[in-house]
């Protein structure tokens, strides 16, 4: 395992994957990471659908006109949902579980990419949540937040360049405009 600082620096969105399948052990570790994610009041409102079938991955890639095509070539996708009747912070809880999976994938040397579903539409203006719900028989009380694609990287991306950190977005004590922060 890499240090956490190295892990977050190296984790970049991967949109090009090889044809190599994931091992059952890799899939288990990714899913364990999701299930160990913190959740408000430990309600764990999230649910996950694992999709490895190439035909279904191709259908899921049609969930929106841009930013989803990579799903067709990934080895596995995890549809991240949450029960809106169980928690008022389901978006936050499901988001944390999503990034836990992505960090676990990076630690395994795998690539991943987030595909936003919530508040997005398909090419024909169907709600993307409804589109995915209909494809996968998802019950009404579950909202789809995202689909995370996983696989072996077919592209290498440079680690995050720390020279591009936006330190101006950090405020000490109170909010200050960038010109006021120059005094610090």
In this model, does residue 181 exceed pLDDT 60? Answer: no
- Written as one string, the DSSP assignment of 132-169 is HHHHHT--TTEEEEEEEEEE-BSS--PPP-GGG--GGG
* pLDDT tens for each residue of 14-63: 999 999 999 999 999 999 999 999 999 999 999 999 999 999 999 999 99
In this model, does residue 1 exceed pLDDT 60? Answer: yes
50 vs 27: CA distance, rounded Å: 9
Query: What mean pLDDT do residues 63-80 have?
Result: 97
In this model, does residue 149 exceed pLDDT 90? Answer: yes
In this model, does residue 168 exceed pLDDT 70? Answer: yes
* pLDDT tens for each residue of 171-180: 899 998 877 6
At 152, list the tokens. 């072996």
Cα end-to-end distance, the chain, whole Å: 37
The pTM of the full predicted model, rounded to 2 decimals, is 0.92
pLDDT at 176: 83
pLDDT at 155: 87
Task: Give the alpha-carbon dihedral of 6, 23, 148, 82, to 10 degrees.
Answer: -110
Per the model's pLDDT, the better-predicted residue between 159 and 79 turns out to be 79
Indicate the length of the chain as a whole number.
184
């Amino acid at each position: 395992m890499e240090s956490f600082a190295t892990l977050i620096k190296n984790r970049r969105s991967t949109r090009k994957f090889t044809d190599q399948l994931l091992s059952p052990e890799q899939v288990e570790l990714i899913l364990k990471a999701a299930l160990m994610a913190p959740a408000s009041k430990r309600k764990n409102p999230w649910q996950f659908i694992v999709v490895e079938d190439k035909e279904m991955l191709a259908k899921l890639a049609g969930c929106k006109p841009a930013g989803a095509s990579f799903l067709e070539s990934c080895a596995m996708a995890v549809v991240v949902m949450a029960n809106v009747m169980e928690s008022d912070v389901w978006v936050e809880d499901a988001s944390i579980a999503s990034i836990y999976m992505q960090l676990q994938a990076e630690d395994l040397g795998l690539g991943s990419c987030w595909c936003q579903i919530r508040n997005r539409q398909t090419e024909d203006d169907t709600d993307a949540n409804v589109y995915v719900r209909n494809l996968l028989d998802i019950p009404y009380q579950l909202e789809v937040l995202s689909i995370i694609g996983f696989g072996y990287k077919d592209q290498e991306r440079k680690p995050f360049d720390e020279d591009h950190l936006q330190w101006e977005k950090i405020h000490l004590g109170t909010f200050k405009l960038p010109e006021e922060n120059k005094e610090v």
